[in-house]
Amino acid sequence: MFLENLAFSLNATVPVFLMMVFGGFCRKTGLLDEHTTAKLNKFTFKTTLPALLFSDLSHADFRAVWDTGFVMFCISATLISVAVACIYSLFHKDKAERGEIIQASYRSSAAVLGIAFVKNIYGEATMAALMIAGTVPLYNIISVISLSLTSPEKKGDGKKLFLDTVRGIATNPIILGIIAGMAWSLLKIPQPVILDKSVTYLANMATPLSLTALGASFKLSDAKGKLPVTLGITFIKLILFCGIFLPVAIIMGFRSEKLIAVLVMLGSATTGSCFVMAKNFGHSGVITAFSVMLTTLGSAFTLTAWLFILKSLNYI
């Protein structure tokens, strides 16, 4: 049983991280440079990931899969996680870096790693899409607020902050893909074969391309200084939140795909898009880049361990 559970956990995590290692290899050998990787990240974020979410949701019976309790749990856990991140940031003396600490501590790679993990285990990502629907808008709102208020350049008055938040949500391709897929399912719109196959082609590219681009984005040179605060972020991101909220999710009756979606929401690595947002608001991005690197490396082990524990207890 031990070896069977270990094999299950490794089969779920290792292929995901091998794709990231492959991305790093491509960058080291010159197959992908910084410019190409940036374009690849933008391409997956704006096309293939929305297509994947649309494909999963549009084919699902959304009325049947919708779970208000699950979505509200994801929203509540995210808000509490943000509160914990804010408290942790107060221990950091440099106020201009507190926004980076807050964002890096709570914001997960839900769209990239979340979908990859759930699809790798269950073959579909409907529950992951529900989780993303509940958390991605909050991710954007809180990131804009925290980074703007702590920006060294003091960017954004109240009006600009509000407009940036609304604009970020309204134009987020992930959110648009979810809304389109939900609407397609609820309205029961038939999908022509040509459209279905075209969207499926795009959707099938999402996971390998996004993980390859993510792996190619990391640079060890970004890990200069800031080790103590970043280790704290890594502990909070990969261990503390899971230790707090996974038992609550289990008590609430979440199992299988839902529990995996919760695990990814809580314990996956800090998303690489945090660095782009931090730079756009005038922050140095050093803490963010280091957090993305450390949490990504650490999550290869912690996610495997959490999966092993959940599988051993027969919750997934």
Least confident window among 73-77, 117-121, 257-261: 117-121
Dist. CA 41–CA 211, nearest whole Å: 9
Helix, strand, coil percentages, rounded to 5, for the chain: 80, 0, 20
Q: What is the pLDDT of residues 42-83, one digit of tens each?
A: 788 788 878 887 887 787 776 777 888 998 999 999 999 999
Note the pTM of the prediction, 2 decimals: 0.76
Mean pLDDT to the nearest integer, 203-225: 73
Q: What is the pLDDT of residues 122-157, one digit of tens each?
A: 766 667 777 877 787 788 788 878 888 887 766 555
Q: Residue 123, Cβ neighbours under 10 Å: how many? A: 8
Confidence grade of residue 237 (pLDDT, cut at 50, 70, 90): very high
Residues 6+ apart with CB under 8 A from 5: 308, 311, 312
Dist. CA 164–CA 217, nearest whole Å: 26
Residue 145 contacts residue 102 (beta carbons within 8 Å): no
Partnered with residue 108 across adjacent β-strands are: 270
Q: What is the mean pLDDT of the chain?
A: 81
Residue 251 has a pLDDT of: 94
Q: Residue 171, Cβ neighbours under 10 Å: how many? A: 11
Identify the residue with better confidence: 17 or 230.
230
- Domains defined for the chain, CATH in brackets: 2-312 (1.20.1530.20)
Mean pLDDT to the nearest integer, 163-171: 73
Mean pLDDT to the nearest integer, 284-289: 80
Residues 6+ apart with CB under 8 A from 78: 106, 134, 135, 138, 139, 265
Q: How many helices and strands (H and E) does the chain possess?
A: 16, 0
Confidence grade of residue 13 (pLDDT, cut at 50, 70, 90): low
Instruction: Name the residue among 165, 50, 157, 150 with its Cα closest to residue 98.
Output: 150
Residue 176 has a pLDDT of: 83
Round to the nearest angstrom and report the end-to-end CA distance of the chain.
14
Q: Residue 308, Cβ neighbours under 10 Å: how many? A: 19
| 253 Rama sector, left if φ>0, alpha if ψ -120 to 50, beta otherwise | left
Is pLDDT of 87 > 90? yes
Distance of CA 264 to the CA centre of its chain: 8
Residues 6+ apart with CB under 8 A from 75: 134, 135, 138
Residue linked to tokens 């991140």 = 85
Residue 155 has a pLDDT of: 54
Q: What is the pLDDT of residues 289-316, one digit of tens each?
A: 788 878 877 887 898 899 889 988 988 7
Residue 181 has a pLDDT of: 84
For residue 245, the one-letter residue type is F
Dist. CA 241–CA 74, nearest whole Å: 12
